A and B are shown apart, each in its own frame.
Chain A
Amino acid sequence: MTQETVIELVNVGFQYTGSEKAALKNISLSIKKGEVVAIVGHNGSGKSTLCKLFNALLLPAEGIVTVHGMDTCAEQNTLEIRRRVGMVFQNPDNQLVTTIVEEDVGFGPENLGVVPSEIRSRVEVALREVEMSAYAEKASHALSGGQKQRVAIAGLLAMQPEVLVLDEATAMLDPKGREEVLSTVLRLNRDRGMTVVMITQFMEEALGVDRVFVLSDGRLVMEGTPQEVFNERALLDESRLEAPAYVQLRDRLISAGLPISQNAMTCNALADELARVLSAL
């Protein structure tokens, strides 16, 4: 099966002006249509910088970034690229630009030239999707931290981009909210073939994706399935990361001699294994 490449980076380097050190070094990667990928890495490793290259918010100093073959450095492509690749920033305050929640959610589609009647229905659907309909007319600044994140996500959904880039978009949500957003995103991926790129510090969130990219000090140090990546304990450690808690527990049990499978990575999988081992005795 040949899948269409949506985002491709070839030997990309980036350095902020005035900064002595490069934020990204020689990164090559490609993301296919319909893929769900996670980007993980220590603080300052370059995750947010990388994502901003995906939709031409930042331009590479070295190498090439293309979206559907369109060079992000060519100005005539910018609008089309932003229409296709939508992003939720790490801090929702950078996203909430107007005063009222529903205006904020409609801001993106409006900029894309969507007609007003269509904007209204998109805003309504997106707010419902994140369970913020009751807050449609509230002032954006008067929201709680997690409510702001939900509204920022609604703003992205209303743009109906082809690629969703979520920069720690669930960091402030309660456990249920985080699960809901994640399942919404996965549903959009399944039903509409949306490509999803999520940055996260919750390693367990990265378990459900197709591929994980690991950044460390501006370099792409690893790329693989969650299984492959989270079994590379030494490399994770060097990159200042840790495997998800259940994977760590699994490994502790295995080294203590319990005959459980290396494939168990989640609560349920581990419980299945343990139930087999403990009750078989």
Chain B
Amino acid sequence: MPILVERLSHTYLPGSALAYPALSDISLAVADGEFLGIIGHTGSGKSTLIQHLNGLLLPTDGNVLVDGFNTREKKLRKKIRSLVGMVFQYPEYQLFEETVERDVSFGPKNMGLEAPEIHERAFEALRLVGLPPEDFAEKSPFELSGGEKRRAALAGILAMRPKYLVLDEPMAGLDPRGRREILALIESLRRGQNTGIVMVSHSMDDVAMYADRIAVLDQGSLGMLGTPEEVFSRGDELIRMGLNLPQATRLVRALRERGVAIERDYFRMDELSQELIARWHHDR
């Protein structure tokens, strides 16, 4: 069963003088095991949209159904929160306990798991995100570096083993290797556990590489929804929206401008590099 977003609109502070319509008429679905990327300019409504996916925000209009459960129903909220794990844009919002281990255990504890299982899950999650529990379990989350905080926040959600993972800029502030490792981890959860992934990102390369489909938000509306190929073939529109193209695609464009004919578009550096090497050998 999927997450269904049906004609969702959201206005902050409705009815007041400060009313701000942040989203209008968004419809989309996230299937089991699907990787949906969300891109859009600053303030386009990405964080507002994803906070609807576990009922943190409720639609002003329209509905969100998680495996058939409507997020408007108060008594389903706990159920929905255990299905949909959410990592916020700023990890500070979800770190509040005295030690990292307690923070990571918070979710599993709330799910009513037994102490040994909680402990095991917490340690496993910490290892997965690159925070060896020997070094980090007893630390205060407030004494972590920026990237370490982000990893800890992610561990807390992984430890709940949710069916859907909703991640708001999870790579921001991670070092290049960490970025690669965490993306690989997310991908392995998807393949192994069939976890549905929703990832907001400003990295066109990351979404091009991993997403099955990409939703493009533009001023609170769904500007595009399609495969990476479909979305990134509309480069000029994306650039006008304050976005960009994956680096491989940018190089293809730069080559064409210089009279080098490249037949198709590329979104991934490794594929482009193979093409360029093959081309060079062939020309010789």
The interface of chain A, by Cβ under 8 A from chain B, is: 16, 18-19, 41-45, 47-48, 90-91, 93, 142-147, 150, 167-168, 171-178, 201, 203, 240-242, 245-246, 248-249, 252-253, 256-258, 267-268, 270-272, 274-275, 277-279, 281
The dominant DSSP class at the B interface is: helix
Asked if A271 and B151 make an inter-chain contact with CB atoms under 8 angstroms apart, the answer reads no
Q: Which residues of B contact A248 (CB under 8 A)?
A: 269
Q: Which residues of B contact A201 (CB under 8 A)?
A: 147, 173-176, 179
Asked if A48 and B146 make an inter-chain contact with CB atoms under 8 angstroms apart, the answer reads yes
Asked if B260 and A175 make an inter-chain contact with CB atoms under 8 angstroms apart, the answer reads no
Asked if A172 and B169 make an inter-chain contact with CB atoms under 8 angstroms apart, the answer reads yes
Q: Give bound CA distance, A41 to B145, whole Å.
A: 12
Q: Give bound CA distance, A267 to B249, whole Å.
A: 10
Q: Which residues of B contact A267 (CB under 8 A)?
A: 247, 250-251, 254
Q: Which residues of A contact B90 (CB under 8 A)?
A: 91, 93, 145
Q: Which residues of B contact A173 (CB under 8 A)?
A: 42, 202
Q: Which of B244, B255, B280 is close to A175, meaning CB atoms less than 8 Å apart?
A: B244
Total interface residues on B, CB under 8 Å, equals 54
Instruction: Say yes or no: is B277 at the interface (Cβ < 8 Å to chain A).
Output: yes
Q: Give bound CA distance, A142 to B259, whole Å.
A: 48
Instruction: Say yes or no: is B159 at the interface (Cβ < 8 Å to chain A).
Output: no
Chain B residues 221-280 with CB under 8 Å of chain A are: 239, 242-244, 247, 250-251, 254-255, 257-260, 269, 272-273, 276-277, 279-280
Can you identify 9 A-B contacts, CB atoms within 8 angstroms? A41-B175, A42-B175, A145-B47, A173-B42, A174-B40, A175-B242, A245-B205, A258-B277, A271-B254
Asked if B41 and A241 make an inter-chain contact with CB atoms under 8 angstroms apart, the answer reads no
Q: Which residues of A contact B14 (CB under 8 A)?
A: none
Instruction: Say yes or no: is B61 at the interface (Cβ < 8 Å to chain A).
Output: no
Chain B residues 141-175 with CB under 8 Å of chain A are: 143-148, 151, 168-169, 172-175
Instruction: Say yes or no: is B89 at the interface (Cβ < 8 Å to chain A).
Output: yes
Q: Give bound CA distance, A174 to B147, whole Å.
A: 19
CB closest chain-A residue, reference B205: A245
Asked if A93 and B43 make an inter-chain contact with CB atoms under 8 angstroms apart, the answer reads no
Q: Which residues of A contact B169 (CB under 8 A)?
A: 145, 171-172
Q: Which residues of A contact B41 (CB under 8 A)?
A: 174, 176-177
Q: Give bound CA distance, A272 to B251, whole Å.
A: 10
Asked if B177 and A240 make an inter-chain contact with CB atoms under 8 angstroms apart, the answer reads yes
Q: Which residues of A contact B251 (CB under 8 A)?
A: 246, 249, 267, 270-271
Asked if B242 and A176 make an inter-chain contact with CB atoms under 8 angstroms apart, the answer reads yes
